Each structure stands twice: as C-alpha cells, then as structure tokens.
Structure 1
Amino acid sequence: MTSFKSTKYLPLVLAAAAFTGACQKQASSETTSTQVENTVAAAGQDSTAGKYLSQPLIPGMYTADPSAHVFNGKIYIYPSHDIEAGTPENDNGDHFDMRDYHVFSMDSVNGKVTDHGVALDIKDIPWAGRQLWAPDAAFKNGKYYLYFPVKDKQDVFRIGVATSTSPAGPFKPEAKPIAGSFSIDPAVFTDTDGTSYMYFGGIWGGQLQRWATGKYDSTAAPEPATGNALAPKMAKMRADMLGFDGPVKDVQILDQNGKPFPATDHNKRFFEAAWVHKYNGKYYFSYSTGDTHNIAYAVGDSPAGPFTYKGVILNPVEGWTNHHSIVEFNGKWYLFYHDTQLSGKTHLRNIKVTELTHLPDGTIQTIHPLKS
C-alpha cells in the first residue's frame, strides 16, 4: 500500500452499471465458482480486456497488495480490501481508507476463488485509528499469524499481529502493536531452518522517512533530496511470532559496485512492498520503486542481505501503485500483483496472477503486464 501523486487515467469501459455497483459491495462469505465465472465473463466483454496479460481474480470486490502463501495444499491470498470511502485524495494516500481484510483461497491457479469473509475488522483492533494497509500472513506453532499496518490513534503507522487456528481466519488481534514496529507493508519470510524475519517499510505516505533519525518526526520530507536512498527495514521474529527478537536493522540494496543507490535514482531505489523468496539457495528481495512503478529485485546470500540489484520483475501496471508477492505452487513459481482494470481508479484495484520464470543464471524474466 502506498501514497500517490494524483494522476488521471483513461477510464475503462466495463459491461454494465450493475457490474460496477457489484464491485463496491462486499462479497458473500463464500464466492461460488459460478458467480466468479459469470463476473469474469462480464468483464471479458470489455473491448480493452485483451490488452492485459491476466484477468482479475476477484472481480466482485476491489482488492490489492496480494500476499500469497501455500497452506495445507492451497493458495491463500491476503490482500488489502479497497473501498470507495469518500475520503479526499491526496499525496499521502488518505483515500486508501481500508477498514477490513478478507482472505481468499484457490485449489489451483486461476481456478475457483473462495472468499472466506471478513478475517479482521478495524473496529476490533483496540489501538487502531484508521487505514488498514497491505497485510501478510505466516504459519508457525500450529497457528496462523496475520500482520497488518494501521495508523494508531495518534495517526502514526504501526504494525500489528492477529492470530487464528485457521488460515482463513477470523483473526484475533493483539491488544497492542508490535513493540518497535513502524511504517507499513510487513512481509514475513521463514527460512528453511525455521527462523522467521519481518521486512517492512514504505516512504511518502508510509512514513518510513519520519523514522530516519530513530525517532518519529512528522515534519520530515517525503524522501531525501540528496545522499543515499532510505533503506527498508527488517527484524528477526521471536519464536512466538508476536514480536521482534532483537533490533530493527536496515536492509542494504546495493548496485553492481557494492554501493547503495542515491535517493535520486527513483528507477531502482526502494519505495515500499518488500517481499523475500528463496530460490536455489539464494535470497531474492523484491520491492516496488513507487513513483516509477517497477517491481524490482536484488539477490543476496543471507536473509539479512546485503542484496545486489539485478533488475525488474514486473514493468509498470495500469494504475499508480505496484505491489506483489511471489510463491511456489506445485513446482511452478507465480507472481501475484494488482492493477486497476476494473475501475480505472488508483485506489480501487484488483488482484491478478501470472507465472514467474527464473532463468538458468538465476535472474528473473521480466513480466510485461500490458500487451503491446
């Protein structure tokens, strides 16, 4: 989830006003295969649908920032739930004013999608103020953990955690945010040795720049004008997965010469949407470049980095934000992402999936979300 700069996009012509209205209603607790197929068919009647690499997975609801995981042989997706909240648009993304999370599952990629209903509502989080942004999930100790950023009652982003005995929820939130947490976009990676790490941070509306000195500064500029780019953050998780086991550290993203990127290199510097996956013994740190709209990646030998920049996984999508996850399922790798095909509006998005290819040299083949 992100802040944004106000930009006008070419509206997409969808089939009927009734379908557009349906997108703004909450889905029922379970979306049947027939309902999904019928709505996809309606979207497919749009003459512009053929320009997209993939079609929306959940046409009946606005969803974004998909965190995908394989639990119990199924793909579970933990996205943001976009709504038309009526909040005025601004560069800090206040109009991304989400108020709950739904969990979705699939037995196969592009198969039936099940909506398991509301997994967590902002009104049930004791310390929350507003804006539930991009979440993530993890499994350990026989429990499922939902990690989420939300502004507290002082309007400062913190990261919370909620637990459940089911990957679909509902999730019960802890009474307080994770001690030492701040900013947005938590992503939890569990290594093959069982150790878990959280990666997080987002600049501009994500408030990471306000913590540059170690203390919160509401007057900080959205990002530095000189010097090095702001670094994403990481922390080792405690065994109980409810807090950090040690200090929060910078994640180093370096160029081919081992140097950090300058703040002025918007094509490669970190903006938000951290994600980590492991492939052939290497750790892949991927992220959004924000206002230049790439999903870029860097590779390292340790989950703590440093990570050396390698290139772009996903070229810019339609819409202002770009946020993803990467997961292996049945021997293949997949990229989950979002765009604005269903609405044409930056804050009303829809999630998608496409196959991801690791090349023989370990690099990732760049994906083009729009057909030429």
Structure 2
Amino acid sequence: MHYLAAALLALALPAATQAGQPIAQRFNADPSPHYFTTQHGGKFYLYATDDASNSGKYWDSTSWRLYTSPDMKTWTDTGIPLDVTVFKWARADAKAWAPEAVQRNGRYYFYAPVGGDKIGVAISDRPDGGFADARGTPLVDKARDANAGDEPIDPAVFVDKDGQAYLYFGTRVPKVVKLKADMISLDGPILDVALEDLPPSDPKKKYGEAPFLHERKGTYYFTFSTGWPGQIVYATGSSPLGPFAYRGVVLDYLKISTNHQAIVEHGGKSWLFYHDSLLPGGGSHRRSIAIAPLEYESDGRIRQVPLHAR
C-alpha cells in the first residue's frame, strides 16, 4: 500500500482497531462481539473467556467477562455477566470456555460451553447481566444427542434473513443444527458441516475449532481455526448449511496454541476480532483480544489480515 494511502487509512480507523493492540489491559480471549441496541441506545458488546482468572497453566476460569464500547475506540470492562454456577446441571469442575450471545425476541441469549461436553443457554432481559438458565438442561449434550461430536464447544449462532437461526459448534468436525424460534431448543438433527476443496498439499489445512458464519451480498462465509496452533481460514457457500468451499487465509499463524475469531459488520465496515499474546506475561493461557479491519476484494474474496510486529 502506498505510504500516503496507508496513513490516511490509519487516521480513518478507530484507534482500538489497529491490529496487534489489545482492547484491554486484562487477559481475555475467545471474542463474541455484537452491536446491540437497547433502550439506552446502541453500542458494542464483547463477551469473552476471562483468562485473567485462570491458573495460567490451563483454560480453567469459571466466569465470563463483558466489555462494552460506543465506538470501538475505547472499551470498558463491565465485569462478570454470568458464571458457570448459573447452570445447576454442570459438573463441579466445569470451566467457562468460548461464549456466544444473541439479541432476539427482545431478550438476550448466552450460549456457553460447559465442561467440554455440553452447551448451555442462559437468558436475560439485559445484555450485561441477570442471566438465568433458560432450560434447566443442556441445549447440546454429548451423552444425549446423536452426532454431537467429540467436544461440543465453541458455539456460534447465525440468524439468517428469513429468521432461521443456526448453531455452529465443535472441534475436529464442525457441526450445525437449526434452532427453533425460541432460541433455546434444537430444531432437527445435528449435522456435519461439509468443507470442500481443502488444499491436499497442506495437511494442516483442516478444520480444528472456532466455527463462525457471516453473510455478505448473498454469500455465506464460514471461518474457522485450522488447529493448535492454527490459521484462521474461510470457505464460502450458498446456504448456511453448506457445503462450503475453501477460499483462503484470513489470519496467519500466531505464536500461541489457539486462535478464535469473530466478525462484526456495522455501519458499512467489517472488523475481525481475534486473540493473541499481547500483554506482558501473556501466552497460550493468558491471551488478549485484538481487532483488525476486515476488507474484501471486488470478487468477494477476503483480504488476508496482515500481522503487525509485536
């Protein structure tokens, strides 16, 4: 990019969106970002795994963290929106892993992988707290549900233009299942997400974890991490159920064991949220969420996000 053009682009972007800059001085990971409009107006809500409260040796935190921003320039740590004790059916050693949230039906739904073998759903009238177990039982249960996979974790919800909601999750084999309009019930069988055209010359180009779907101009973009460590790559399709054909890399390997992405499109702009080792003392178990602008080529291809020096 020409120097002047790059400088103008940097001035046009919110300060917190410069790739490689943590959104907070607290360890956090597994971003679930959203723009929610409430009675008090609209702003960005970012739900996260709270790496600051884990042991530093494993992903063993038991509560989630919420950050908010009016403009993505500055983020406020609003504390704990809920923890695993909301789910009375959860095992005593349950951990709070990568979360998801959705605003619908005038309420807020929080999807939580609990214990590595179940996904719960909590509900609240507010996005920042007051969450209660919506079912009293897991939404997805490895022991109960056919084809739930080895690890039903990393939930991501996509609501299509026709109102149909889809839940994506899973490690090693991506899963998808329709949700009923109540957002707390499965609507049909759990299916495998079909991925096509993965590069046979690169055995590392396979699905690992962190499924995420977004739609742009009629094309469905399925992004995911290729493993441990993994790139963030993407595939595209004409249906939320797939199949999805591999297209390329969104974010290259980072010097940590995991990566987990989400994409927000608001006000005509797109942003990639991810995590990396960015703060002093950081690492694979003490990660930090960062944001980078996401851009597309004229044919719809995603431009690979450059990694800035750290």
| TM-score bracket for the superposition, by shorter chain length | 0.7 to 0.9
Looking at structure 2, the residues matched to 285 and 76 of structure 1 have their Cα atoms a distance apart, in angstroms, of 22
- Paired position in structure 2 for 1:104: 67
- Alignment of 1:170 onto 2:130: yes
1:183 deviates by 1.4
Are the equivalent residues in 1 in contact too, given 2:157–2:165 (CA < 8 A)? yes
Which 5+ residue runs of structure 1 have no aligned equivalent? 1-36, 41-51, 90-94, 204-230
Alignment length, in residue pairs? 279
- Paired position in structure 1 for 2:11: none
Looking at structure 1, the residues matched to 168 and 181 of structure 2 have their Cα atoms a distance apart, in angstroms, of 16
Are the equivalent residues in 1 in contact too, given 2:260–2:274 (CA < 8 A)? yes
1:359 deviates by 0.9
Identity level (%): 41
Choose 164-173 or 276-285, whichever is displaced more.
Answer: 164-173
1:169 deviates by 2.1
Question: Taking structure 1 as the reference length, what is the TM-score of the superposition?
Answer: 0.71
Looking at structure 1, the residues matched to 80 and 54 of structure 2 have their Cα atoms a distance apart, in angstroms, of 17
- Alignment of 1:190 onto 2:159: yes
1:86 deviates by 3.6
- Alignment of 1:367 onto 2:305: yes
1:249 to 191, 200, 205: 191
- Paired position in structure 1 for 2:20: 54
2:119 to 152, 156, 159: 159
| Structural mapping, 1:126-275, within 5 Å | 126-129=88-91, 130-151=94-115, 157-174=117-134, 175-179=136-140, 180=145, 183-203=152-172, 231-255=173-197, 265-275=202-212
1:261 deviates by 6.9
1:124 deviates by 2.7
Are the equivalent residues in 1 in contact too, given 2:20–2:278 (CA < 8 A)? no
1:292 deviates by 4.4
Looking at structure 2, the residues matched to 297 and 176 of structure 1 have their Cα atoms a distance apart, in angstroms, of 33
Moved segments of 4+, more than 4 Å: none
1:266 deviates by 4.0
1:121 to 83, 93, 113: 83
Are the equivalent residues in 2 in contact too, given 1:254–1:261 (CA < 8 A)? no
Looking at structure 1, the residues matched to 77 and 129 of structure 2 have their Cα atoms a distance apart, in angstroms, of 11
Looking at structure 1, the residues matched to 139 and 260 of structure 2 have their Cα atoms a distance apart, in angstroms, of 23
Deviations 1:66-109 (A, max 9, x none): 0111111321111111145447x5xxxxx110210122111112
- Paired position in structure 1 for 2:286: 348
Deviations 1:229-286 (A, max 9, x none): xx3000000110002100000100100xxxx677x95432100000000011000000
SS in 2 for 1:123: helix
Choose 134-143 or 117-126, whichever is displaced more.
Answer: 117-126
Amino acid at match of 1:54: G
Which 5+ residue runs of structure 2 have no aligned equivalent? 1-14
1:362 deviates by 0.7
Amino acid at match of 1:164: S
2:227 to 265, 278, 290: 290
Are the equivalent residues in 1 in contact too, given 2:179–2:187 (CA < 8 A)? yes
Deviations 1:304-363 (A, max 9, x none): 000000000011223221111001121100000110111232100110111000110111
Looking at structure 2, the residues matched to 238 and 265 of structure 1 have their Cα atoms a distance apart, in angstroms, of 38
